[in-house]
Amino acid sequence: MTALPRITAAERRARLARRHLLTPSARVTTPHEVADALVALHATDPATVFLAAAARMRTPTVAAVDEALYDSGRLERIRCMRRTMFVVPSRTAPALQAATVKGTDAHRTQSLRHLRETLGWDGRRHTAVEQAVLAALTRRGGATAAELAAEIADLREQIVLSPGKPYESRQRASAPVLGLLAAEGRIRRHRPAGSWTSAQFRWAPARPLPVLPAAEAKTLLARHYLAAFGPVTPDDLKWWAGWTLTDTRKALAAVGARAVELDEGTGYVLPDDLGPVPAAEPGAVLLPGLDPTAMGWRHRDWYLDPEHTGQLFDRNGNIGPTIWWNGRIVGAWAQHPDGHINHHFLTDPGRAARAAVEEETARLTAFLGGTGVTPCYRTPLERRLAAGS
């Protein structure tokens, strides 16, 4: 049996540093170039999009990211992989949506069941509420959830979550109704009601996206993912895309993925991506919580010491802000309430790395310009650093 080509952990980190724009020479000019390189930017936390782009741009500004998100049409904010909100290049948005959302009514079925069980809504009422929302947004051009609820009484109905539990809570019916419309690409999140860190968005009618066949879309998504993140294991792709194992295997076969040997077992790369990648120049970068590089693989031991996982992730697997040096996580950072950036090294990266991190801290501070940023998912080390300890 012929041995598989081997790609070492060091070679994977060299690929990561170059392809994920983690070194000064790899930085780009525009936010949509960042999104292109990474396939998609996590957008559950609004600040992540701005900080992830800024870390990889030569001369980042809030205005440049804002313009790319809301004016130029180069980026789309959609629900796609794992029903999570992402910002993606407009040219690939149809494939990402069709590969992960379109072609299945599971989300709609689940949402209808939830509203029937909690509020007694039948399908006719749910449809009427959706039509009222779409009509209001078309007429207004955009509105917050609160503004829509003030106009549409059904959206103000209260849903009790986890009744009788210590963590019982309430939410308005607007949350699942708007969430489903967004997941299906019928409405979109537009500019926030507050600053760029605000999670209170205005909703607007969605720009229609071309509809692709699901199999074609999954092949395209797998190709983009392997180009940016390869080599990957099937488990990496399955987790990242939110697919079944069958879907994952079919997509890998469709792109002609080539098997390689990794420390984790068998991995895959695109057929023209077997050659060596030169090591990038040393580079440090401060990435935000939920950054797509940190969240891009299921198996992370090749860039993250497993002993540090508990400090960097919350209980649900969301990573906090991290410090990278040469394609490896070496520490974490957080913003203190007075505005300055605290950082902590989990391992000593050496004098050159420490100096580079200081430069990146100054660059991030300049980008923030006095704006305070607190991740929506707090992790143990981030909380400690934010408190100043």
Of 197-211, 252-266, 320-334, the range with the lowest mean pLDDT is 197-211
Of 84-88, 124-128, 189-193, 333-337, the range with the lowest mean pLDDT is 189-193
- Roughly what angle, to the nearest 10 degrees, separates helices 46-54 and 351-368? 130
Residues 242, 81 contacting (CB under 8 angstroms): yes
Question: In the chain, what are the domain boundaries?
Answer: 1-73+212-389, 106-205
Residue 207 has pLDDT above 70, yes or no: yes
Dihedral over alpha carbons 219, 224, 226, 228 (to 10 degrees): -170
Q: Scanning the structure block, which residue is given the tokens 């009788």?
A: 164
Q: Reply yes or no: is the peptide bond before residue 231 cis, omega within 30 of 0.
A: yes
Mean pLDDT of 343-353: 95
Mean pLDDT of 20-49: 96
Tell me what percent of the residues of the chain surpass a pLDDT of 70. 98
Please give the model's pTM, rounded to 2 decimal places: 0.90
Tell me what percent of the residues of the chain surpass a pLDDT of 90. 76
pLDDT at 200: 85
Residue 370 has pLDDT above 60, yes or no: yes
pLDDT at 206: 87
pLDDT in tens, 292-346: 999 999 999 999 999 999 999 999 999 999 999 999 999 999 999 999 999 999 9
Mean pLDDT of 150-170: 89
Q: What is the mean pLDDT of the chain?
A: 93
pLDDT at 102: 54
Residues 270, 258 contacting (CB under 8 angstroms): yes
pLDDT at 279: 83
Query: DSSP letters along 207-270, please?
Result: PP-----HHHHHHHHHHHHHHHH-SB-HHHHHHHHT--HHHHHHHHHHTTPEEEEETTEEEEE-
Of 34-43, 51-60, 81-90, 236-245, the range with the lowest mean pLDDT is 81-90
pLDDT at 103: 47
* Separation in Å, CA 290 to CA 59, 266, 295, 324: 22, 26, 6, 14
Given pLDDT bands bounded at 50, 70 and 90, which one contains residue 228? very high
More confident residue, 108 or 139: 139
- Roughly what angle, to the nearest 10 degrees, separates helices 174-183 and 106-119? 170
Residue 250 has pLDDT above 60, yes or no: yes
CATH number 2.40.10 is the correct assignment for the domain at 106-205: no
